[in-house]
Amino acid sequence: MCLGVPMKILSRDGDTVIAEVDGVQKEANISLLGEEIALGDYVIIHAGFAISRLDEEYAEETIRLMREVFSDEDMA
């Protein structure tokens, strides 16, 4: 299964960003986005690429729902 994950941008160097969710940091490329991305923005990361920018409220709600669906008990 492929899953895009909402993550918050922590740092940026050109088209490369470091994004984080729940303490997990990933490097991603933002060149597919047609808009300016700033530190603190939320994006959907899939296969090493940011594929969409998200509103902060929507991103945080999506993360909350993902935490419920993918609880530790489900992963065991």
Model confidence at 73, pLDDT cuts 50, 70, 90, reads low
Residue 68 CA to residue 51 CA, distance in Å, equals 24
Assess whether pLDDT exceeds 70 at residue 50: yes
Assess whether pLDDT exceeds 80 at residue 12: yes
H/E stretch holding 74 reads: helix 72-75
Q: Give residue 41's pLDDT.
A: 97
For the chain, which domains are there? 5-75 (2.30.30.140)
Q: Give residue 3's pLDDT.
A: 79
Assess whether pLDDT exceeds 60 at residue 40: yes
Overall average pLDDT of the 28-53 stretch: 95
CB atoms within 10 A of CB 27: 12
